[in-house]
Amino acid sequence: FRSAFLVDDDPALKGAVVYDYPVIGGKAELLNGGVGRGIVAIGSNKARRSVSVWLAGSGFELIRAIHPAARLARGVSVGVGTVIMAGAAVNSDAKIGTGVIINTLAGVDHDCVVGDYSHIAPGVTLCGTVQVGKESFICAGVTVIPNLTIGCNVTVGAGSTVISNVSDNLTVAGTPARIL
């Protein structure tokens, strides 16, 4: 295989070219090509985790992808399989887990922790020392005030303002954010 390509299980896409990258086929074609390395670009947190774990177990090396227009301060740690998009800012001593998406123009302030396979959507602001649990989805334009904990598998609706801790497995929305 060439060094950069796309994989999609949709048979109609095999052989197509997307943004100058060939679609080689699905997971079977990927593994038939031998051990490779890359990222899993799936929006669903659970699906991204599932495919990432399967690939890693098959000898595939997950890497980090950090856009050149993203800004990372000193002391930031970024897990494998994580993508940090253009315009994102991750400040001092933040810890970003495995398989995370920090999307366009998101701000992750100092000492925040973002759990594995979470998605911080475009325009989100996580103020200092916010903790986001595994597989949570913080939708576009959300603001989370400092020192809060967002549990695991939480969805925070677009444009919300989170001013209190959010327990695991909840969906919240609004300003201030309330349980739906």
Residues marked active site are found at: 110
CB 65 within 8 A of CB 83: yes
* 116-143 core/surface letters (b: 16 or more CB in 10 A; e: else): bbbbbbbbbbbbbbbbbbbbbbbbbbbb
Nearest-angstrom CA–CA distance, 150 and 136: 8
Terminal alpha carbon distance of the chain? 47
Nearest-angstrom CA–CA distance, 1 and 80: 22
Nearest-angstrom CA–CA distance, 48 and 46: 5
CB 72 within 8 A of CB 55: no
Nearest-angstrom CA–CA distance, 156 and 154: 7
Using alpha carbons, select from 34, 31, 103, 95 the residue that is nearest to residue 65. 103
